[in-house]
Amino acid sequence: MLAFILRRLVQSVAVLLVVGLVAFFLFRYVGDPINGMVGQDTPAVEREALKQKLGLNDPAPIQFLHFVGNAARGWFGLSYRTSEPVNRMILERLPATLELSFCAALFALLVGVPMGVYTGLYPRHWSSRALQAISLIGVSLPTFVIGILLILVFSVILHWLPSFGRGETVDLGWWTTNFLRWKGIEALIMPSITLGLFQLTLIMRLVRSEMLEVMRTDYIKFARARGLTNRAVNFGHALKNTLVPVITVTGLQLGSLIAFSVVTETVFAWPGVGQLFIQSVQFVDIPVMAAYLMLIGLLFVLINLAVDLLYFAVDPRLRGGGLARAGGH
Amino acid sequence: MAQWLARAADSDVWWSFKSSATTVIAAIVTLLIIFIAFLSPVLAPHTPFDPSTLSLTDGLKPPVFIGDDGDWSFPLGTDDQGRDVLSSIMYGTRLSLGVGFAAVVVAMVIGITLGLFSGYFGGAVDAVIMRIADVQLTFPAILVALLIDGIARGILTGQRHDEIAVFVIVGAIGLSFWVQYARTVRGSVLVEKNKEYVQAARVIGLSPILIMFRHVLPNVTGPVLVIATINLGLAIITEATLSFLGVGLPSTQPSLGTLIRLGNELLQSGEWWITVFPAATLAALVLAVNLLGDWLRDALNPKLR
Amino acid sequence: MMATNAPPLLEVKNLRVEFPTRRGTLVAVDDVSFEIAPGEVLGVVGESGAGKSLTGNSIIGLLEPPGRIAGGEVRLEGRRIDNLPYEEMRKVRGARIGAIFQDPLTSLNPLYSVGRQLIETIQTHKQVSAAQAQARALALLKEVGIPGAEHRIDHYPHQFSGGMRQRVVIALALCADPRLIVADEPTTALDVSIQAQIIALLKRLCREHRTAVMLVTHDMGVIAETADRVAVMYAGRIAEIGPVRDVIKHAQHPYTKGLMGSIPHLGERGGRLTQIDGAMPRLTEIPRGCAFNPRCEFRGARCLVERPELMAAGASRAACWLHDAKGVGAPLSKDGAKELANV
């Protein structure tokens, strides 16, 4: 098990290095770091001196090492657009995105899994067919359209919920949170639903098809032949066996929630890192783009590691590899 | 031909198509939208993006079936510039579909080619291509497309970027969807690679790659078609999203996504029709395409799910 | 053997199983009737597709949709069970009828220890404490011959070999002391060397517990060694049923004869193995009259038009006109058969 985790760690670092390479090329060759730091009218001599000082004349591999070293310490230079340190800009906005993604994930899981189980257990029931049809509509509606429709109904027409911003937040010094004020929670509702809906339908469809698959297996039939109750068969035996693929995909989906928040944050003017990224693409703010890329890469790697650890908790076949061969004859 | 038709009519695929009312409706809706969109220059009542035909006095008219301000020459109302919403949607759909199809073709060509190389050469080529695929898969397509678009903006200047925005978008979306095709083709190539006809081709001096291509392609037509149909829906959504975010097609060349973005700015003041009709069109189009994709997947390969 | 005056444990009467398909309804089990006495082992033998597994699944009420029981009835201890509501049937399954499936590798849930699966089954059917259930689980594992049962009880299925897993499956089937066990190809997925052990185990346990067995298999050797009576199935119907010794030594149905002729016997030198020409018809194209007629060397005109029911034939019962007073009718040439078949 330790070897497995070590191998995964090495793979994770490799993935991060590849992402870092892309970010580095962006940073170094697409944008001009000097232009980002000095005015248009700075004489060429000064530019050259700055270039020398920043090590931009070093061979590319050395520069990449510097970039990776800086990135590891969280330093991505200054934003071209605001001249603020990129890491501070991102840290300021990260809580907004993480809280939104967390709520969206919760929504997607708490609604998606039960819906998937239900439609998987009773695939021929009319309500399952209805849910299945609704889920397809959910997949077909682009996130931003769902957001706009929600705003139209609940803000413009009914005036129930705010259409933009985080509402009221509480600053805890290192973190700003929505959860401590009713206005903040109110502001979270529509963005979370918008962001989570696509993942919800995906999770529901996945759980459904996994359930259908598992229900056909011999051990479920044998569990029935043993006379176990429906409850024990469906939830004790079937649901648990769907967990491994569901955890994999859900894990990846939670990662992409953070990336998908780009769209939701734009629709609801949510002051998170996604909005920052869109602005950086529009203004070609390369350091911010590079830093965002690395951030997403890091989050994905962390989530993947968490998913791997969860496998061990669920599936005994992965645990104690040596024991597998000890079986007597 | 008649024989071929008769065989097609008796096939399981055709049977499953006929017996699913939803699929038939989806197919009709898709064809209808494609038909109307591509004939929009002929069918549309106005040419909304020719400034000389616009008049600000026509601005913000509601649809005809609401209130008394409606005007039958603008059945779905107008936007703040006096552009006919119906005509904008027809032209916008044409662009959205065009970009979607083109992006899928780009993804397919890149994916099939890389998959073929990856499977055939194996070793380092395979490792590099498949690792790139792995890393790319960890990022959602929309992010990859955004990134590619951002890079294009960094390289091209603003004016130039708008001119070739369509190509940038097609490229960006195409590049973000190739992985699935590559994996499918690679798998098939690995199966075919060691078969005798490939060895035979080499012995008699034919290019083994070409020979394999000819044999592998029929094997992967089914799965590739399924992926392509599902991708078409995704590509249309991705383009709409990019345009909505303001990094896709410019307002001089509006797709459905651009129209929704422009309308969104007027949503708060109650002019909902400028947003809702393009959004409904987009949803109907993608839903119809997804239904077709879903059915195709089940009909061609029940195991693929 | 079968005590003729004791009421049968299981009665299957005119059982018919259908599969609706888009090209019409397939009849997979057609008018099958038999009985099993308490403690008796009935072998059911036939080629794959003959309907033997479907018959077994119908008895335990686990026919997979779209297959359905379209006619007939199944009675256990005099009580009709084929039309019970799901929950009622659930209480019969495991408690009164145990089941053993073909593949021990896939019959056990990989995510739970074998002990947990045993205890769960025991507690579902018996009002016992957790400790009692644990003790019974351990006793069962010992009884089916799992060495080191005390610590093996906490192991997961993947830590057992195929033969050991089938022993666990047998323990699971015996959890609630069922009166009947439906064993569907219990040894097919196992190594030949293990097969004999499992069959011996099954035979011993059933004798000790006075449990009747319906042993579904395509292996005549297993039947010969284990069963009291045997039913030979062909194309969804019973071709011949009778005491195992009689069926093997004096087969009455031409199909059974062919089946027996294809088994090599130890110590019989020089005899040729026979084979039956052709293959069992698909369910979509079962011929009129006797389903076996295209492959039968004794067929007459009657076999092409009239379907034989089971009738007394020696010590057994066989569905063949050869045993009818009127016989098979006019003999047929090969071409004549074709002409008549086209009528």
DSSP output for A288-311: HHHHHHHHHHHHHHHHHHHHHHHH
**Residues 6+ away with beta carbon under 8 Å from B216:** B116, B185, B188, B189, B192
Residue of chain A whose alpha carbon sits nearest to that of B285: A140
Neighbour count for residue B200 (Cβ, 10 Å): 12
Contact state of A327 with C62 under an 8 Å Cβ cutoff: no
Cβ pair B61, B71 in contact under 8 A: yes
Q: Which of A15, A145, A156 sits opposite B282 (nearest CB)?
A: A145
- For tokens 């006095």, name the residue: B57
Q: Where are the domains of chain C?
A: 10-234, 237-264+273-342
Nearest to A263 by CA among B248, B250, B176, B134: B248
The residue extents of the domains of chain A are 2-72, 91-314
CB contact (8 A) between residue B139 and residue A140: no
Output C167 or A307, whichever has higher pLDDT.
Answer: C167
Q: What is the pLDDT of residue C22?
A: 72
The helix or strand, by DSSP H or E, that contains position A176, with its residue range, turns out to be: strand A176-177
CB atoms within 10 A of CB C15: 23
Give the contacts of C320 (CB within 8 A, at least 6 positions apart): C239, C240, C252, C253, C254, C290, C308, C311, C313
Taking one residue from A and the other from C, the number of pairs with CB-CB distance under 8 angstroms is 97
Dihedral angle computed from the Cα positions of residues A232, A234, A240 and A246, in that order, rounded to the nearest 10 degrees: -170
Average pLDDT (C137-151) is 89
Smallest CA–CA distance, residue A230 to chain C, in Å, is: 9
- CB < 8 Å from C in window 230-289 of A: 230, 232, 236-237, 240-241
At C5-49, the pLDDT tens digits run 567 899 999 999 998 877 778 888 888 999 999 889 999 988 887
Position with higher pLDDT, B161 vs C109: C109
Q: What percent of chain C has pLDDT over 90?
A: 16
Contact (CB, 8 A) for A292 and A90: yes
Please state, in angstroms and rounded to a whole number, the distance separating the CA atoms of residues B267 and C148: 74
Interface mutation vs chain A, best among C64, C68, C100, C107, most A CBs within 10 Å? C107
Poorest-confidence range of A93-102, B267-276, C116-125, C140-149? B267-276
- Among C114, C139, C134, C121, smallest CA distance to A327 is for C114
> Is C93 in Cβ contact with A314 (below 8 Å)?
no
Do A327 and C155 lie within an 8 Å CB cutoff? yes
Which H or E run contains B154?
Answer: helix B141-155
Residue of A nearest to B276 (CA): A149
pLDDT of residue B171: 87
Nearest CA in chain B to A252: B138
Provide, as residue numbers in chain A, all residues whose Cβ is less than 8 Å from the Cβ of B294. Answer: 136
pLDDT confidence of residue A324:
37
pLDDT band at C119 (very low <50, low <70, confident <90, very high): very high
Which is more confidently placed, C173 or B41?
C173
Over residues A156-184, the mean pLDDT reads: 79
Query: Tell me, what's the pLDDT at B110?
Result: 93
Identify the residue among A135, A140, A248, A307 best suited for mutation to test binding to B, counting B beta carbons within 10 A and taking the highest: A140
pLDDT at C56 over 80: yes
Half-sphere exposure of A46 (CA within 13 A, CB side): 9
What is the CB neighbour count within 10 angstroms for residue A22?
18
Decide if A226 and C60 are in contact by the 8 Å CB cutoff.
no
Q: Interior CA angle at C219 toward C215 and C221, to 5°?
A: 95
> Average pLDDT for residues A303-328, to the nearest whole number?
64
Cβ contact, residue pair C103, A237, below 8 Å: no
Q: How far apart are CA A242 and CA B295, in angstroms?
A: 24
Task: List the Cα angle C289/C295/C301 in 5-degree steps.
Answer: 40
Q: What pLDDT, in 10s, does the model give residues A108-149? A: 989 998 999 899 888 888 888 888 888 888 778 888 888 888
Mean pLDDT of C304-320: 84
pLDDT tens readout for residues A95-107: 889 899 989 989 9
Residue C278 per-residue DSSP state: S
Predicted pLDDT of residue B209? 73
Residue C270 pLDDT grade (very low, low, confident, very high; cuts 50, 70, 90): low
Candidate from A222, A227, A241 with C-beta closest to C101 = A222
pTM recorded for the entire structure = 0.77
Class level of CATH domain C10-234: alpha beta
- For B291, name the nearest residue in chain A, comparing CA atoms only: A136
Q: Which of A278, A284, A293 sits opposite B245 (nearest CB)?
A: A278
| Best mean pLDDT range from A291-295, B294-298, C283-287 | A291-295
Residue of A nearest to B155 (CA): A30
| Test the B interface: residue of A263, A281, A292, A304 with most B CBs within 10 Å | A281
pLDDT for residue C334: 53
Give me B234's structure tokens.
């995704």
- Whether the CB of C116 is below 8 Å from some CB of chain A: the reply is no
Q: Of B283, B281, B274, which is closest to residue B76 (Cα–Cα)?
A: B274
- Pick from C302, C301, C281: nearest CA to C292: C281
CB < 8 Å to B155, chain A: 30
Amino acid sitting at position C295:
R
Closest by Cα among B122, B305, B116, B300 to B217: B116
pLDDT, tens digit, 9 for 90 and up, residues A188-206 = 889 999 999 888 888 888 8
Q: Is C60 on the interface with A (CB under 8 A)?
A: yes
* Res B305: pLDDT: 37
Query: What is the DSSP code (8-state) at residue A181?
Result: S
Could you tell me where the DSSP H helices lie in chain A?
A: 2-25, 33-37, 44-54, 60-72, 86-121, 126-140, 143-150, 182-215, 218-225, 230-231, 240-267, 273-282, 286-314
Q: Are B296 and B225 in contact (CB under 8 A)?
A: yes
Give the whole-angstrom CA distance, residue A187 versus residue A207: 30
Instruction: Kindly report the nearest CA distance between residue A259 and chain C, in angstroms.
Output: 34
Which segments in chain B show pLDDT lower than 70?
1-12, 49-60, 64-74, 157-161, 301-305
B153 chain-A contacts, CB cut-off 8 A: 281-282, 284
Phi and psi, residue C232, nearest 5°? -100, 125
* The three-state (H, E, C) secondary structure of C43-62, written as one string: EEECCCCCCHHHHHHHHCCC
Residues of A in contact with B149 (CB under 8 A): 281
Residue A329's pLDDT band, with cuts at 50, 70 and 90, is very low
Please report the pLDDT score of residue B302 as a whole number: 47
Contact call for A324 and C159, based on CB within 8 A: yes
Label the pairing between strands C97-100 and C180-184.
parallel
Two tokens, residue C286: 């079962």
Q: What is the distance between the alpha carbons of residues C98 and C92, in angstroms, rounded to a whole number?
A: 9
Task: Test B153 with A259 for CB contact under 8 angstroms.
Answer: no
Cα nearest neighbour of A324 on chain C = C159
List, for residues C202-255, the tens digit of each pLDDT value.
Answer: 888 888 888 999 999 888 888 888 889 999 998 888 889 999 888 888 888 888
The DSSP string of A267-286 is HTT--SHHHHHHHHHHTT-H
Residue A323 is predicted with a pLDDT of: 38
Is A240's CB within 8 Å of C108's CB?
no
Residues of B at the A interface (Cβ-Cβ below 8 Å)?
A: 131-132, 134-135, 138-140, 142-143, 146-147, 149-151, 153-155, 233, 237, 240-241, 244-247, 257, 260, 264, 267-268, 270, 272, 275-276, 279, 282-283, 286-287, 290-291, 294, 305
Chain centroid, CA C19 distance in Å: 20
Chain-chain contact of A149 with B305 (C-beta, under 8 angstroms): no
**Residue A327 to chain B, least CA–CA distance (Å):** 33
What pLDDT is attached to residue A34? 67
Q: Are the C-beta atoms of B148 and B172 separated by less than 8 Å?
A: yes
- In sequence order, the 6+-apart residues with CB closer than 8 A to the CB of A17 are A68
Is C120's Cβ below 8 Å from some Cβ in A?
A: yes
The per-residue pLDDT for C333 is 57
What is the bridge-based pairing of β-strands C180-184 and C212-217?
Answer: parallel
Check CB contact under 8 Å for A284 and B150: yes
Q: Which of A15, A266, A284 sits opposite B135 (nearest CB)?
A: A15
List CB contacts of C67: < 8 A, sequence separation 6 or more.
C17, C18, C19, C28, C54, C57
Cβ–Cβ gap B146/A149 under 8 Å: no
Distance from CA of C99 to the nearest CA of A (A): 6
Provide the 10 A C-beta neighbour count for residue B191.
12
Cα of B142 to nearest chain A Cα, Å = 8
* pLDDT at A328 (0 to 100): 34
pLDDT at C118: 92
pLDDT at C163 > cutoff 90:
no
A282, A245 in Cβ contact below 8 A? Answer: no
Res. C340: pLDDT tops 60: no
Mean pLDDT over residues C294-308, rounded?
83
Band (pLDDT 50/70/90 cuts) for residue A6 is confident
Per CB-CB distance under 8 Å, the chain A contacts of B257 are 142, 144
Q: Of the candidates A144, A284, A304, which has its C-beta nearest B244's C-beta?
A: A144
In this complex, the residue of C110, C164, C173 whose CB is nearest that of residue A328 is: C164
C164 with A329: Cβ contact below 8 A:
yes
Q: What is the CATH number of domain A91-314?
A: 1.10.3720.10
User: Using a CB-CB distance cutoff of 8 angstroms, which residues of chain A are in contact with residue C108?
Assistant: 219, 222
Cα C275 from chain centre: 23
Read off the pLDDT band of A327 (50, 70, 90): very low
CB contact under 8 A, B135 and A19: yes
Q: How far is A21 from chain B (nearest CA, A)?
A: 12
